[in-house]
Every structure is written in structure tokens, then in C-alpha cells.
Structure 1
Amino acid sequence: MKIPPHLEKLLDKDQRLHGVVLQTLGVFELWLKDNKVVFFPEYTDHGPEHVESVMHGAEALIREEAWPHLTAQDAATLLLAILLHDCAMHLSEDGFLALVSAGAPWKPRGRLFLDRMGDHPWPRLWQEFLREAARFDEGKLRSLFGDTEPARNPDTDWKKWTYRDRLLIGEFMRRHHARLAHEIALLGIPGPGIDRLGFAQMDEWLRDLAGFVARSHNLDLRASADLMPKNGRRNYREVHAPFAMAVLRIADYLEIEAPRAPRELLRVRSLKSPISQAEWRKHEAVVHVRQDEADPEALFVDAEPTDVKTFLGLRRLFQGIQAELDACWAVLGEVYGADTRLRELGLRVRRLRSTLDDVAAFGKTVDYLPVDARFRVSGGEVLKLLVGPLYEEEPAFGVRELMQNAVDACREREDYQRQNPDRRIDLPELEADVVVLLEDNDDGTGWLTVEDRGIGMSPDVVQKYFLTAGASFRNSEAWHRQHDDESGTPRVLRAGRFGVGALAAFLLGDEMEVTTRHVEEDRGVAFTARLDEPAIELRWCERKPGTTVRVRISNSEVMDRLLSRAEGESWDWYWLERPTLVRKILLRNEYESYPNSVGPTDGEVVLKRRLIPLHGAPLPLYWIRTCHPDFDDIQYTWNEGGHGTYVHNGFVLREPYSADLTSDDYQHLWYGYGWSEFIRRPRISIFDRTNKMPVNLVRTGLSTGDTPVDAVVLQSVCRDILGALLVRTPAVPNEMIPLVIADRFRAGLHPSIGTKMFGWSWLWWSQAGIGLADGAMASQIAMHPICFAPIFRGTDRMPAVSWVWQVLKTECVVELQGFKHDSREDLHNIMAQWMVMFHDPLAVVDDKPFERGPDIFGPFSLLTPRSTLLIVCRALWEAWRAIDPRPETIQYASVGEHWVLEWTGEDNRKLLDLERLATIVPEGIENPIGIWFDCEGPNEDLPDEDMIMSPLAEAWEDIIRHPVIPWDEAERRALLPHAYSELSEEITRWEAVTKLEQEQEAGGRERSDRAVTRRQST
């Protein structure tokens, strides 16, 4: 690299300094030429040619009057700073790992200027960056990688790094390359060892200063000048550092001519990173930089951008250069203006002009319109039009958004206090951490006030986040720096996520009054906001830390909706005990009573809140905990209804005013698992610090159907069902088996099983015990003993062993108990009831149409050409045979007086004791009427899709490890030791539940007996 003549002439004044500068340039030139910029494969040139070009540009910038005042130390500092300013771009893989690895050998030693920077260790910087990268939005990912695939942490072995890994590391180094330049000046180039390539032997202060000047090109110039020692701000050891800083930054900016991004390279490779593509297009569009003929202090740039993005990018670049020129001249005037001798230190250039200044004239030379056209939101009405339909004009959603902000703020304040235990915070005196108050006025309008003892907002947060649609402070890097632990995981739960809280408040009214004060601020901020306000005035105010938001409800209809349903769940969104929250209504008019309240007292109604267990807290008896590595805690229950609802970080995900399902409802079933549709989804409470739960924007549910939470909860529910079976399966003699089903299994075996619709349809039962009526599981067993099971259907392609899957797929179970018919009308009523359950009409009765389903082989044509037997009640069999004659492939025979045996294929009646069978199944048992036998082993021809095991069957095979759970408890324990060991926790819980139910039942009988006694005595 050739030193420009004027700078070399200065160096000649100090031969020793000249020599070490030349030696350092030579050493670094070899490194810059050899290195391949492994983290910046698509960047424009930052090699020796760029360094030399900036050197010559720097010399050309120095005005003639300044040269007499410059020293050899000035020349050395400037040349070394130019050499350093981009050298970190050439860092190797080993060099990077030497910086960021735990226990890294790179230890910058304290120096005058390095000490003043307050730098964090490189490993900490890298970990913070990785945490930020994990939250890159789609725009950032696309600009960096060209796609929206999430960034991943690079492997610790650099040989396994992908192209994306290198681009990610490059982004990190781009942000911090100026700092590394400073450290390289003192320590040399990072590498695997301690024998590093570095500067030639020279004074340490000079290396420190040259590194600081290099670093300043990525810092604010005025702030950098202010870091100079007070007595050496103008001239520190014969170095005019602020002047060198100004020369370097402008020379680096102006090195933008096309040769820096040669077209030839673009012919042989494509650039994947949109950032790199845009930079190369900008450099390519600059044809020439020259002196402006009309103005000796101006440069003129000939630019020919061929597309509007490059045009806009260059316009911003030229505006940035002009802003830098203005700042440089201002700082040089501040530093040297008062010195009559040094005020000559200045630049040749004050202004930058270009062919893009006259947009109209430039527009005539290209085939596109050089304008910044994009979607914009004009005025508050548009925002209101967007927010209203999004939240279905529902004011209760506005209440929820304000609640979320307040609860989150209280959690953040608690975290702040834990991190700053010595700091005392004078909090407002409120009834709870969050107070929600609805007040009505005489004219039918009112106010909704949400006041909290939270962390509060600074003026900066108010402006950048609270008043900006879609900008969530809780997703910002500033928030994560304050509330993340060392691993990058937030220490606090967050309910707010999407940055629409303030806008949603306008669902309640058109005007919002806010006062707030951050815990670190000495005073608060107050303002009144409307969506159509052209400028919102922020004023200082005196208040304690926290936030108060008051929304004026000007629409009487909105007020009526909130008041009329306040006793329900219209705005009972938050269900945790801490942070505490109180919901109140202050009535000035007469309204109907509020049964779901603690009050009223003097017109003030305190509404009740539903409460659920806290994160990690001991659980009540009817709550169950499970876990998933992505979430902090998962709890669920069927208690008090609420099947199928999610509660995320304390806030319920549901529509306003939606009532919870009762324990007898079967509508909220677990879909998506085929067989397990009969298991009702419980209420699930998720604690999720990293916000991985896919909550939809309106927070009424999830944005995707399948979540990892559902999978682990279903697994836990299956275990709990098996635990209930081990505890609650009764011990009965064989002749009592049919009656037991009606008495015990169809009532309260497990809260996940619907009692009205499905009864015991998920089990088969025999003399030996009970088993799981799962097609894939049953097909593996040759069941010769008599086995009672629910009525089921078959098709021409589905063997009878898969009957449960088929029945539950169509959401049906036939429960025609003790069937006797006296007329065709009676038969029709029963058939109609059955058809409603099946959603699949089968026949025509009394000219009333019942369309046959597409795969129905007949009401009881359950048999495929396979030796399978079915016992059917004769009365029912004869009635349906009259309606729908049996196919010829089905054979039948009488079993005693009351039953008919059907079969297909080979006649296997010899396997059965039909006389004994006739005595075991007397007429009129109060159970679904069907007895199923499989006289063969597994069916090898069963289609794979029909053999998929249900989650409960998989759990049964893995834990029970036997097809039958015996009736006798002692036999159960002897036969199933693994199950009792594996399910010990579930068994203990169900023993406690059963004991409590027995005590409650006994107490109820005792109260009933006392009431009868009182009535008799009366």
C-alpha cells in the first residue's frame, strides 16, 4: 500500500515513526491480501485497495491551509486508523472463536481510551446477539438471509458452519467491527494462539489513540471528541485527534465509486443477501465523484441508479454524507474555532451534490418514477377502521388489552425490584396491584379506568411504543436486556405481545387520558390522546411510579354492554391471584343486581374473579400438572367446567361472554386424534415466559390447530385415565358384570369421558375383566371368552376389530337400553334417536326418509368375510330385519329364546357353549345390546390406516402391558406390577379423589336423612 505524498512528507519528520508505520502497513497488507473475508462473502471490497483508496481520499480532503499545522504524529495516527477501520471484516474463524468462546484468550487490557468505552466482554455480546437473532422478524431475516427461516445458533465447531451461520456471524461483526479495530491496535489480530500478528513496535499511547480514531468512524463524532482528555482535546501528544476523526469518516463515506463493486464479479456469482445486493447496486450506480465546477467546496456525484430501490438508497446515502459533513464542520468549529492558529484545520468539502438532487430532471432520464411510493396510514380514522373489525367492535377486548398491559407492568416492576433490592420504590396506595373501575354517568356515558402499581413508562417508551401501532416494547431488545436472565430467557411472564394495546382501548371510546412514571424517572408524563389528534402533547406531571389509563366511554351502547354483562365473564380475563387485580363498578344510576359480585356498597360493586393456580404452586386435588421443555408450567383440570379453554400466562383465551361448558357437555372433544375424540379437552393453563404458544392476534384461541401443549396434556390425560381404572374398577362376581357397567363405568369413571353421549363405549368387558375397545389393540388378541361391547357398525372394507375407531369417528354410540317395541311408531322414534346420534340415516320407516350412508352395509351388518360372531337381541333383530333385510352373506341362528347369533364365513358356533351363553345374557339387561366375539387371531390383511393405535392404546400397551385389567384388586396388583409402579402418582391422586367423593356422598345421605327426619317429625 502506497502512502500518499503529503502524508509521507509529514512522516519524514520522524524517521522512527515513519519506519514503524511502513512496517505495520506491510504486515497488514499481506494479511488483508491473503484473507478471504469468510464472514462477508458478498460485501463490497474492504481489502488493501480500499485502504489505499481511503488514504488518498483522506489526503485530498485536507485543505491546504491545514497542512502546516499537522505533525508526523497526525499522519501516523490517521494512516494507522485508516488501516484499522475495516480490518475486523477479515477476521478468521479461529479469530472469531478466540473472541466469543467461554474462557476466550482475548483479554483487552486497560488503556486510556479503551478504558473509557465501558465495553462488555465479547462472549456476553455474542450471547446477547444470539438472543436477539432468535427474535429477528421476517423483514430482518429476509434482508440478512433472503428468506424467513429463523436464525440458529452456529455450532461451536467452525467446520460445521453453514453459509447462513457465516452471514449471521458477519452481521454480529459488522455491528462491532469498529470496537475490534480499536482492540487490534493494542493486542494484534485475534487467532487461536497468543503469538498474534500486530503493529510494529511503537508507543502504546499511539496504538491506543489510532485504534480510538478508527473506532470513532462508527460512533457519534461529537461524543468521540468529548472522550478526549480535557487538556488534550485539541492536541493530544501532537495529534489533532478530532480532525483525524473527521477526515477518516468522510474519506470512508466518499469511497463509493463503481470500481469498488466490479461488474465482473457479478457475472460469475449471485448475491444471496438482499443487504449485499442493495449495497453492490448502489456502488455500481455511482459513475464518478468529482469536484463541482461551480463550487470549489462541493463534490458532485454522477449517479445512474437503474431501479427505484437503488435510487432511494443513494438518496439516503447522499443525505447521510451531507449530514456527516455538517456534523464534522460543526465539531471542528467547536474544537478549533477559538484557536486562531488551529482554526485552519478543516476539510476541502462542505457540500455534496448529485444528479439525483433534481428529481424531476432525473426522472426524465429513466423508465421508472423516482418517488418513494409505499403503503401509509393517513389519519386516525383508518387505524380505527382497522382495529374495530379486527376485534369485532367488542369493547370487552379493549378492557382486556389494558388489563394485560397493567399486569405485565406489575410483573416487570417486581422483577426490577428483585434485581435492585436496595432501591426503594414509593408505590401508589391502591386496593390491588391493578384496579379496573367502570363508572357510569347520568347521561349514559362513563369512564373505564385501569390503574396499576407497575414499572411505568418513560417518555421514550410512550413515544416509540405505546403510541405506535404494532410496536411492542416487550418484544424490543431494550426490554430483553432489562428482564432476561443470563441464558437469555425472560424472567417475567408477558401477556401482551402484539403492540396493539393502546389502539384496542379505542374500542371503548374516542379519548384516552394517561399518566405514567417509570420507576427510574424523577417525574411522570401525562397526555390526552385521540386517534385523530395531529400532535399529542406530553407534559411533565407529579405522580408515583405506575400508570393510569382512563378511557372516556362516549357511546351509551358500549356502556350498556359492559354493565349488563358485567356479572358474567364479559371482562373477567385475568385468573391468577398475583399480581392482584380488583374489578369494580361505580354506579350512579340504577341497574339490575349483580349476582356475581362481592358488593354492592354505596353504589360500588366489586365483581368476583375466577382464580386458578399460580406458576409452580402446589395444585388442588382436581388439578394436574404436566411439563414440556418449551414451557415453564402446564396445568389442567375439568373442574368447574371450562373444557377446551386455554389460559395463557394468566389470561383466558376465549370470546367475550362465552360461558364455560358444564361437566356433562360433550361438545368440546379432542379432535385431531381420530380414536380419542371421546376424550374431552380440559381447561389448560400454560405459563410461557418465551411466548412460544401460538396465540392468535385477537387472543380468542390459537393461530394453529396443533400445539406441543396438546400432545403432552393428552399423554398425561391417558396416564390419568389408566390410574383411574386401576383405582375405580370394581370387584364383582361374573353374574353381576352387565349390571356393573351401568352402575359404575357409565357414571364418573373419569372426568375426561363424556357420560351422556359415550358412556362406557371405550371399554370392552368380560368375565376376566375390562379391556380397551381399540381396534388396533383388539386385533392383536384372540378373544374366546364372552365379551360384552357396545353396538357398532362395520363397512365393506373395515373389519369388525376396528369398530371403536369407526364408531367414535362418527361421534356415535347406540344406547337402546332394554329395548321393547309395541308399534312401528315406537320403533321409528327409537330409530330416529339412533340416527341423530349417528348423523347418518339408514332406512325409511313409515314413509319418513332415512338416507343410507355411503359405506353402510346395513344397521347390523358389521361382519366382513371373516369368522366374527355377533349376538343381537331378538326383538331388535327382528324389527330391523323387517326394515332392512339381511344380506345373504350373513348367517344367523337362535341363542335361547331372546337372542340371535350372526356370523359370516366359516361356521364357528362349535367354539361357543350356546346354552350357557343363553343363560348369561338374559332378556332386558340395561346395557347396549351387543356381544362380540373374535374367533380368530390378528387379521394380517387389516389396512395400515385402520391399525393406527390411539394415544390411550399406546399408553395402555406401554404401562398396563396386559390386555385385561382384572375385576379383583388383589389380582390386579399381582398381574400389573409395572402399572402400579409407573402410575403411583396418578393412583395416589385418584385414591384421594375417590375418598373425598365417598365422604361427600356419605355427607349428602346424612343431610338427606336428617331432612327426612325433620319432615316426619313435623
Structure 2
Amino acid sequence: MSNFKLPKLLKDLLDTNEYNFSIQEAIKEFTSWLEDSKMPFFVDYTDHGIKHLQEVLATTCALIPKKSKDYFSSSDAGTLILSVLFHDCAMHLSKAGFKELIYGNYSKNIIAEFDKKTWTEEWEDFLFFARRWDDNKLSSIFGTDENGIARFSVQDPFEHFNDLNESDHRLIGEFIRKHHARLAHEIAIFGVPGYEGVALRVNEKLPLERRDLAGVIARSHNLHVRDCLDYLQYKFGSTREYQGIHAVYLMTLLRVADYLQIQSSRASEIAFKYKEIPSRISQIEFKTHHSVKNITATHDDPESLQIHALPSEVELFLRLKEWLNGIQSELDASWAVLGEVYGKQKGLRKLGLSFRRIRSNIDDVKQFSDTVSYVPDLIRFDIARAELLKLLIGPLYSDDPSYGVRELMQNSIDAVREYDQFILDHPECISKPRRLQEKDVEIELSPLINNQAYMTISDKGIGMKEEVIRDYFLRAGASYRQSDRWKSAFEHSSSSEKNTNKSKVLRSGRFGVGALAAFLIGDEIEVETRHVTDEKGYYFKTQLETNTIEVIKKDNINVGTLIKVKVDVNNYKELTNNSYRKARPGLWDWYCLEYPTIARKRFSITKEHTTYTSKFKFNEDLIKNDWKKLNSNHPYEVFWSFQNAPRLICNGLFVSDSDTLREIPLSHFEGNLHQFFYPLYPKIFIKDVDGLFPLNLQRNDLRTNDYPFGKELVTDLITEMIAWFFYNGPDNLDYFSEKDWRGKWLENLIVMRKSSYGIKIPSLMCNINIKHIIYLLKIDTLIKTEDDECIIFRGKFNTDHVRIKNTNNDYKPHIRQLQYRLNSKDKKQLKTYTHEDYQTENKIKYFVEWQKNNWLMASTKNCPPSWLYYTTIRQ
């Protein structure tokens, strides 16, 4: 039996309420439930039980000034009691109640004026976004370990509902907290969800409209009061009064009273000392409550409430300041809405609050600073906006305007892919007119006139909405891809892998560079854009130093985006430079796929233009068929090939053609296998729908020293090599050239005898009786020995010779080389010559065996005879 006690004002008025019995019964049943509840999903929260409800009710009474009590009716009292009873009871939901809420019959309950989704839909949406929480959010919900890492990741509790763990309880708690105001309203009307049905409900002798009013008042404590006015007008015909109930007034009483519950009694000091609370948010809330030492109304200002607090650290001080500012805002908003609703009513205009202002000992920060050991202010890293952006953007991309073109091109490509996906999801929007241009993305460079030109990047993509322009395109580091809006539109959860997010769009943008990229090209940009769902478009013109950007709404703009950048003479020269570099292609030739279609044009003064052709252009479907796919568990697809292509492509964009991406770390080879042959990495194409491939910030190299899949790729290469030998090796050694069949990844790998060939691995040659080894230098054509006890391979004489000795064979090493003496002016027949070995610096003497038209073949002394096809030698 609960010991719930009502304040005298409310108790006396309730005794005269015509629904006293139903309300008293509700108090008894609900407080008994709350008293028995352990708040299973809110183990770290401050008090939300019976004591909290009594304190809220007591505070509401203290907030009613004497002049208002004449208009505070018994119906007001009964409704206020119920609304306070309901307002936080969702946090006491049981495990069975939560299951019923989400997947039982209760899940279909909707108050249509406020809500559009069932509880099942709300839960699925919540999980969708929870799986995409960043590290800060995960840490705030689940707490962190000793390394500062979030203690848990997001799992769907219903996959193991009979065995919920701590992370499940915290996740469910966050969902209930987010929606507890809605559930308070529904509990008032439909009852409390429990095991396979409703566990508790208000006696239906209390009319539905009374329960509804109490519910919407409970709901209002987590909304703006004005958000509830339309509902009151629609359901009850008035915002001022219904059957003696002044709902708006009760809403202000509840929200201010609930806000004022920050006294230390809500946070058990004993529990805090002896119980680990991993959530940093909960820790701060506990400490903040305990830092409030007194709340009193004895200030000289009769309409102010005095708060005395002693925050022991700056984070508590800032939380208190936030709370004080919040309650002052609530008081201001409450007084404003009371004036709007009741101000013209002669009697009801007296409905008000006892306080208008909040005062505290931390208001005077300078004076308070003298009483604590820390500086009471928000001090953190910050930036000087335009100045820092100037310092960062140029060096980040080596002041190369081609990277600016790449970023804007990539944004346009992403926008086209998003448009296509959006139309698949919303076919009704296909009739909206798109930009009038031939290709999906067009990049144009105007002629240089008076040392000035313009580059225009336009696309037929999805376009930008106002909030995208403001919050992402013009904000450095704010990636639209990471926003809830983008994820909701273009991501889905994989059906094959739990808790794995998969974008529906192959999108490359990830770092939030946005408009900054344009300033690599020039110092002024113009933007014209229209989103596919908007009836109007937007236009603005700006420089990096502009303090206030005026965005103009424009009619007659087709769907898509156009960006025009003023180009100075130096950047113009760089942009017209056709030189191909390892770190970037020439003439903005960044995109290597056929779709979306791209045109790159350069105009002359006569308005004639040159259309640049792409050096590399692959069909995405052909890559899947012609390139070999690496089977791995990485969250992106890896394809490799030895075709003519940049060394690394990601989502169709050129990343790098650097030779450093060829080198395979020795650690990827088993044992000493790397000592005998030297395969190189092939060309790599990455399909990274979720933006997880480890590119550096400039996106011209890896963040890591090697591919994350390097070892798997080496295994795949060797497997492919062996398979090649079995299926593609020549049947006849007499009529083929080594370079025609050895494979580009098999440098220095082939071993040949008179009638057979193999792989240069000592363990494979242990049973061969070898008398001589001939090392070929600078020979790409086929050379054969006439002796099966002699083997030939390409390699490094001094290193491979020592390693082959490990086979325990007794043999003599020789060298035979074919040279083209291109720079030799001496056409006479040579008999001998010497070369210095660059590794040992030893002089090696060669005996010429054959010479013709500046070609010669020579060998070391007593080298066994061999022969080659002279017709294969370039004449």
C-alpha cells in the first residue's frame, strides 16, 4: 500500500471533485505500481518514483500565487494530479510491458493529431539510427571502458529478449526516454502496457475527455505549450477552459515544477558512492543534483526564486548554468503563453505563477570565481573561421586546383546517384524538370580573358535543400552523409548481416569538405540549386571571407546544381596542364567509370570548345566480370586486375597511381618465399558503399601503410598464378616468348630446362639433378638450354645463387645476358667485355657468343650452351 500524500490544497479540492473516487482509485493503483517498480531500464537515473511525484505536486502548489487560487478549480486539481501521475510513469515500464508496447496489440495505438507511426515503426526507426550512432553517442548511452571506448555496441534486444543484458536495458531505456511523453498521453487513454495486454488503466468511470486532458497535459512537459494549443482547440473547442479545467495553466505548472526538481534528494548520495555508474551523463546529473544546496523564495525580489549551489568542478558549473538558463526560459515562455490565452479574460488573467525570475549565487561569475579553484567558464578549442580555413584548405591539397575540381565533381556524381535512387523510391517525382544538359555532370572551363576565367560544374543530381546548404555545404567538416536525414533516405539495414549498415547509393563524399573545395579553384563562387522535392530553387554568391551570405529563393530553376568559380591566371595554367602525375591525373580526369556520364570541356575565346577524352573509362558491370573479386570479410568490395588502370580507384574516382602501392610487405609471405620471387600488387578497384575504406583526408593515398586486405590479396595472387600455370601454361617450349606468358605479376619467377619449366622455389627443385644454373640478365625473349641438367631463370646473380645453395645441390652458377648496345659507337665485333655487379661491385668478365646489329649475347666463362630465336629480337 502506497503512502502517497497529496498537498493540502490539492487534497481539499479533490474532495469536492465529482470524480474523486475514480481519481483516488487511480492514485492508489498507479502509486502501488510505481512503488513496486525497479525502473529496469533506468538503473542510473535520478529519482522518478513516488517521492518525485509528491515533490512535483508540492512545487506546483507553491507555484500557484494567492490571486490565482480563486480560479483554480477542483477539476483543475484532479486533472493536475493525474497529469503528474502520468508524466514519467513510462520510465517504470516492465520488460513484458515493453514487448507488448512494441509488438503487441498496444503497438497500434496512435493519437493521430500528434503521431503518425505505430510503436513498431517508431522502434524500427530508432534502431535504424541507433546502429549509426557515433562514438560520442555510444559512450554517453553505454559508458566507456578504461580505454575510453564505448562499452557496448547496438544490438537488437528482441533477438535475445529472454536474456537481456546491460546494453539492451540501456538501449531500451534511451528509446523510452525519447518517447516517454507520448506514452504518458497514451497511458492516460489506453492504460499501461503489460504482459500480453494492458496491465493497468484508469477507471473508465472517469470520462475519456478528462483522461485525454490529463494525458495531453502530461505530454506537454516534453513539448512547447504552443504545440498543444491546436489539439486543445480541436478536441475540446477551447484553449482556455473545458468543464472547469484550465489545461494551459496546468501545463505551465507541470513543466516549471518538473524543471525545478534539481534538489539533492533526487539523487541518492549513498547509491552514487557505492554503485558504479558508467554513463558520463548520469554521473554529471547525479553530481549536479548534489551540488544544489538550497532552493528558497525568501529573496528581496518577491517574484524570484533563489538557488544556492556549490558545483565542485567546471562541468557541473556549466550544467547548472544550462539548467538555470533553461528554467528562466521556461518561466518566460510560460508567462507569455498565459498572457496570450488568458490575458483578455477579466478573471482568468489572474492565473499566473509565483515566480518570474531565477536568481543564484553563480549569476555573478566573477564573484563566484573567487570561491572555487577552477575557472568557471567554457574553455575549449575553437577556431577563427575564415582565417583557419585559409590556412587549412590550401596545404591540405598542396594548393592544387585540380583537387578542388575533384571534390566538386565527386559531389555532383554523388548527387546524380542520389537522384536516381530517390526516383526509384519516389517515382512520383520523376516529372520534375532537371537541368538541361547532355551529360549527367558537365565541367567547363571558360577562356582566360584579362587574367580571369570561370570554371562551371553542373549536374542533373538531386539538388540541395535550404538546410543542406546552411548546415552542410557551407560548413567545413559537417558531412551530410553522416546526418540522420541522409541515412534515413539512402541507407537500409542489411538483411544478411545483423547490425551492418548498407548505403543504397555508391557515394564518395565523406569528410565534409563541401564548398571549401571550390576555393582551391578560385576566391569567389556562385551556386544555383534546386532539390527534387522543392518547388523553388536557391541562388547565392560568396567569398570565403563573407560574413553573411544572402541566399535568394528563385523560380524557374530546374532540379540539380550549378557551381561557378572565378579562376585566376595561376590556377588557370594549372587546370590546363595536361601532364599526368602519379598523385593526380591531368585535365581533371578523375572519374574512371562510364556512369554517371561526365563531359569535360575547355572553351576558347571564339566559344569553340575542346572536349577532353578520358584516359581510363570502365564499365562498372565489366569490372565485376573482367576484374577478379577478392573474397574477404571487409566492409567494402575489392577487385583487382593487371589491366591498364590507375593503381588505386575508389568508387570510380582516381586515388593514386603511385609505385608505392605496388610494393608487397615481406610479412605477407609465408616463410622465406619472398626470397625467390617478387610479385607486385595489381591494380585495385574498391567499391565502398559505406565510406569505410581507409583513405587519407586528401584521398590520394591510404591512411595505413598497406592495404587492410594485403595478405589476403597475396594469397589470391599466388593462387591465381598456380591456376594460370595449370590452365594457361604452354604445351610446347619451342614457339613462345617469355613475356607473352609469364604474367605481369610473375617477375623473375620462371625456371626453365630443356623440356620443362616451373616456379623458382628451391623446395620444388630439390629432386632435380642440377649441374649448372644460368642467370638471364636483360632478356625478355625465350632462351633455352640443350641440357636437362642445366636450368635457366631470370634473377639477381649474387642473391639467388646463395639461396639456391640451400637445396644442397652441387652446381656452378653462370650468367648469360642479351644486350642492345644502343649508345655504342664502336660497331666492331667484340670478343669480351666487363660489367660491374652493382651489389658486390665485383668485376664480371663476359665472353661474346653472338653479335648482330648492335645486339649481342654474352656469358661468363664455361657457361653451358643455350640458344634463342633470333627472329624475336628487335632488328
- Which TM-score bucket, shorter chain as reference? 0.7 to 0.9
Shift of residue 462, structure 1, vs aligned partner: 1.2
What runs of 5+ residues in structure 2 fail to find an aligned partner?
495-500, 786-793, 817-832, 838-861
Distance, in Å, in 2 between the alignment partners of 1:875 and 1:139 is 64
User: Are residues 24 and 725 of structure 1, via their aligned partners in 2, closer, same or farther at CA, if it must alter by over 3 Å?
Assistant: same
1:192 matches 2:195: yes
- Mapped contact 1:285–1:306 kept (Cα < 8 A): yes
Shift of 1:255: 0.8
Match of 2:750 among 757, 760, 764: 760
Alignment of 1:863-878 (within 5 A): 863=805, 868-873=808-813
What is the deviation of 1:782?
9.8
Cα distance change of structure 1 residues 766 and 610 upon mapping to structure 2, 3 Å threshold: same
Residues 1:730 and 2:730 are matched in the alignment: yes
Matched, 1:445 2:452: yes
Tell me the residue number matched to 1:530: 543
Quick one: structure 1 residues 339 and 606, their matched pair in 2 at CA, closer, same or farther if it must change by over 3 Å?
A: same
Task: Work out the CA distance in 2 between the residues paired with 1:367 and 1:620.
Answer: 64
Please say if residues 622 and 638 of structure 1, whose CA atoms lie closer than 8 Å, have aligned partners that are also in contact: no
Which residue of structure 1 lines up, in the alignment, with residue 686 of structure 2? 686
Q: Is the 1:185–1:208 contact (alpha carbons within 8 Å) kept by the matching residues of 2?
A: yes
Partner of 1:561: 574
CA gap 1:463/1:264 in 2 versus in 1, 3 angstroms:
same
- Of the three residues 196, 204, 224, the one matched with 2:228 is 224
Tell me by how many angstroms 1:359 deviates. 1.0
Structure 2 distance, partners of 1:614, 1:381, is 43
Conservation of the 8 A alpha-carbon contact between 2:636 and 2:692: no
Q: Is 1:60 the counterpart of 2:55 in the alignment?
A: no
8 A contact 1:54–1:82 mirrored in 2: yes
| Pair 1:395–1:172, CA change in 2 (3 A) | same
Is 1:124 the counterpart of 2:121? The answer is: yes
1:380 to 380, 386, 396: 386
Q: Give the structure 1 partner of residue 859 of structure 2.
A: none
In structure 2, how many angstroms separate the alpha carbons of the residues matched to 1:11 and 1:926?
Answer: 115
Task: Give the C-alpha shift of residue 773 in structure 1.
Answer: 5.2
- 5 Å-filtered alignment, 1:341-420, equals 341-420=347-426
**Does the 8 Å CA contact 1:766/1:785 hold for their aligned counterparts?**
no
Question: Do the aligned residues in 2 keep the contact of 1:630 with 1:692 (CA within 8 Å)?
Answer: no
Note the C-alpha offset of 1:116. 0.9
* Pairs within 5 Å for 1:99-178: 99-100=101-102, 103-110=103-110, 114-144=111-141, 145-146=143-144, 147-149=148-150, 151-155=153-157, 156-158=159-161, 160-178=163-181
* Residue 362 to residue 926, structure 1, CA distance change in 2 (3 Å): farther
Distance of aligned partners of 1:41 and 1:772 in 2 relative to their CA distance in 1, 3 Å threshold = farther
Q: Tell me which residue corresponds to 2:592.
A: 575
Aligned residues: 792
- Residue matched to 1:277: 283
- Residue 559 of structure 2 aligns with which residue? 545
1-structure distance, mates of 2:173, 2:629: 43
Q: Deviations over 1:851-910 (max 9, x none)?
A: xxxxx8x9537556xx8324324799xx99xx9xxxxxxxxxxxxxxxxxxxxxxxxxxx
- Which residues in structure 2 correspond to 1:700-711 (within 5 Å)? 700-705=700-705, 710=710
The residue that corresponds to 1:748 in the other structure is 741
1:750/1:430 Cα in 2 relative to 1: closer, same or farther (>3 Å)? same
Query: Which runs of 5 or more residues in structure 1 are unaligned?
Result: 589-600, 793-811, 821-832, 843-855, 884-920, 928-1003, 1013-1018
Contact 2:738–2:782 (Cα < 8 Å) also in 1? no
- Residues 1:248 and 2:254 aligned together: yes
Inter-CA distance 527–403: structure 2 relative to 1 (3 Å threshold): same
> CA RMSD, aligned part only?
3.6
2 CA distance for matches of 1:92 and 1:715? 53
1:513 maps to what in 2?
526
Query: Aligned ranges for residues 250-265 of structure 1 at < 5 Å?
Result: 250-265=256-271
Amino acid at match of 1:520: T
Alignment match, 1:936: none
Contact 1:379–1:531 (CA under 8 A) maintained in structure 2: no
Change (3 A) 1:817 1:610: closer
Partner of 1:801: none
Using the alignment, how far apart are the partners of 1:215 and 1:790 within structure 2?
Answer: 89
Aligned to 2:820: none
How many angstroms does 1:634 deviate by?
4.2
The yes-or-no answer on 1:434 pairing with 2:441 is: yes
Conserved 8 A contact 1:817-1:925: no
Report the residue type matching 2:802 in the other structure.
F
Aligned counterpart in structure 1 of residue 467 of structure 2, from 460, 468, 471: 460
Rounded to whole Å, the distance in 2 between the matches of 1:382 and 1:422 is: 44
So what's the TM-score if we normalise by structure 2?
0.83
Whole-angstrom CA distance in 2 between matches of 1:106 and 1:771: 73
Aligned partner letter, 1:250:
V
Distance in 2, Cα, partners of 1:511 & 1:169: 49
CA contact (8 A) 2:766 2:809 kept: no
Task: Give me the whole-angstrom Cα distance separating, in 1, the residues matched to 2:162 and 2:449.
Answer: 74
* Residue identity (%): 33
Mapped to 1, the partners of 2:866 and 2:214 lie a distance apart of: 98
Tell me how far apart the structure 2 counterparts of residues 259 and 18 of structure 1 sit (CA, whole Å): 31
2-structure distance, mates of 1:465, 1:4: 52
CA drift at 1:709: 5.3
Matched residue, 1:489? 502
Alpha-carbon distance between aligned partners in 2 of 1:21 and 1:672, rounded to the nearest angstrom: 76
What secondary structure sits across from 1:652 in the alignment? strand
1:160 positional shift: 4.0
1:925 corresponds to 2:855: no
Structure-2 change in CA distance of 1:787 and 1:540 (3 Å): farther
Q: Say if 1:5 and 1:772 are closer, same or farther in 2 by CA, change over 3 A.
A: farther
1:794-943 matches, within 5 Å, as: 860=802, 863=805, 868-873=808-813, 923-925=864-866
Q: Hey, what's the Cα distance between the residues in 2 that align with 1:282 and 1:529?
A: 45
From the superposition, tell whether residues 875 and 223 of structure 1 become closer, same or farther in structure 2 (CA, over 3 Å). closer
- Tell me by how many angstroms 1:279 deviates: 1.1
* Residues in 1 aligned to 2:291 and 2:696: alpha-carbon distance in whole angstroms: 44
**Which sits farther off after the overlay, 115-124 or 567-576?**
567-576
- Give the partner amino acid of 1:678: Y
Q: Is the 8 A contact 2:100 2:193 kept in 1?
A: yes
- Aligned partner of 2:791 in structure 1 is none
Change (3 A) 1:863 1:183: same
Aligned to 1:823: none
Q: Compared with structure 1, are the counterparts of its residues 770 and 427 closer, same or farther at alpha carbon in structure 2 (3 Å cutoff)? A: same
Paired with 1:393 and 1:215, the residues of 2 have a C-alpha distance of 55
Partner Cα separation in structure 2 for residue 12 and residue 602 of structure 1:
90
The aligned counterpart of 1:997 is none
**Alpha-carbon deviation of 1:705?**
4.4
**Which of 349-358 and 163-172 deviates more?**
163-172
Q: 2:696 touches 2:702 (CA, 8 Å); kept in 1?
A: yes
The 5-angstrom pairing of residues 73-112 of structure 1 reads: 73-100=75-102, 103-110=103-110
Change (3 A) 1:414 1:268: same
- Distance verdict in 2 for CA 1:692–1:123, change over 3 Å: farther
User: Is the 1:724–1:749 Cα contact (8 Å) retained in structure 2?
Assistant: no
* Distance across 2 between alignment mates of 1:731 and 1:684: 32
Contact 1:670 1:678 in 2 (8 A): no
**1:190-233 deviation digits (Å, cap 9, x = unpaired):** 33322513333433333333222212111122112232234222
Query: Matches of 2:778 and 2:281 in 1, distance apart?
Result: 62
Match of 1:807 in 2: none
Asked if residue 207 in structure 1 is aligned to residue 147 in structure 2, the reply is no
- Post-superposition CA distance 1:546-598 (Å, at most 9, x none): 221122123x222211112378535211222222211111233xxxxxxxxxx
1:442: how far off?
Answer: 2.3
The amino acid that maps onto 1:925 is S
